[in-house]
Amino acid sequence: MVTPGLLLVDKPEGITSHDVVSRVRKLLGTRKVGHAGTLDPMATGLLVLGIESGTKLLTFIVGKDKTYEATIRLGSATVTDDREGDILTTATKDQLEEVSEENIRAAIATLTGVIQQRPSSVSAIKVDGERAHARVRAGEEVELASREVTVSRFEIIREIRFNQNHIDLDVVVDCSSGTYIRALARDLGNDLGVGGHLTALRRTRVGEFNVDGVYKFEPESKVDILELATAAKTTMPTIDISAQDEIDLRHGKRITGQVKGFTAALNEGELVAVVECAGANSLKSLVVFSKEGTDV
């Protein structure tokens, strides 16, 4: 029997997030595998996968803040806002020479904090029921509406590399869910008047989870599934409940209590449910887990 819980995976470059899910399904011998947010094929880094009833926890992880490390190339803009798209514009040598480190840092500052961001046109956002990237690849021009996102950190982490035809900078970004790093690269380039796109992207953190020591698709890498209770304790507050509370939650009843936000309810160390307040001193279940860790 496959242990239900979460599997943290370091996605390699060149495959889709769905490819990762397919590989893990074969690896573990189960069809019930899902993920808490995709990564583009070009990107590497942390994917949080739910295994068996662990997929129920993904709802509470997908909206968490994330950290990325990226390389931004200033000097050209592309259709996809990354290196895989056709080049739209290229800056002249004179334009690039006008861009200083001070200019770059000032432009980065304007893209930090609570900002309005227009997602990349090749994002997975649906437009009239169809993914935006599919419409772009079919030859349509797509411009998505701006949305509010929070960029709590946008910093240069290595020396800026000034070249004759482009400028490369390595950055780290802490941001809210739904922030597009490609769009930051695009907007930084636009603000500097030279265009910009991503040449590398790596996700290093999702909420409380980071990429260090996680599973890789390599022979020596160990599959280490975080069991349900451990995974829940890592991602949200917990409360201990009684045996009677457990019975009531399993039968769809409310129990007495008060919590703030999503909370894991455990009885004798076993994850029973994720609960939230349903009025004064009353809790209701959002998802319930059986004793065997399978769906109820």
Q: Which of 10, 19, 40, 65 is catalytic?
A: 40
Q: Which two tokens stand for residue 43?
A: 């990107």
For residue 116, which phi and psi values (nearest 5 degrees)? -95, 125
DSSP string, 239-293: EE--HHHHHHHHTT--EE---SSSEEEEETTEEEEEEEE-STTEEEEEEEB-TTS
User: CA nearest 217: which of 14, 4, 67?
Assistant: 14
CATH class of 5-64+207-227: alpha beta
CB 225 within 8 A of CB 7: yes
Angstrom distance (rounded) from CA 26 to CA 38: 19
**pLDDT for position 195:** 97
For the chain, 296 residues long, give each residue's pLDDT as a single digit of tens.
889 999 999 999 999 999 999 999 999 999 999 999 889 999 999 999 999 999 999 999 999 999 999 999 999 999 889 999 889 999 999 999 999 999 999 999 999 999 999 987 666 665 555 655 565 665 666 667 889 999 999 999 999 999 989 999 999 999 999 999 999 999 999 999 999 999 999 999 999 999 999 999 988 888 999 999 999 999 999 999 999 999 999 999 999 999 999 999 999 999 999 999 998 889 999 999 987 544 44
Between the alpha carbon of residue 282 and those of residues 242, 251, 263, the distances in Å are: 15, 15, 13
Domain ranges of the chain: 5-64+207-227, 66-199, 236-288
> What is the CATH number assigned to the segment(s) 236-288?
2.30.130.10
Identical fold at 5-64+207-227 and 66-199? Answer: yes
Can you give the pTM of this predicted structure?
0.91
Whether residue 40 lies in the annotated active site = yes
**pLDDT for position 106:** 98
Fold of 66-199: Pseudouridine synthase (3.30.2350)
**pLDDT for position 129:** 59
**pLDDT for position 145:** 80
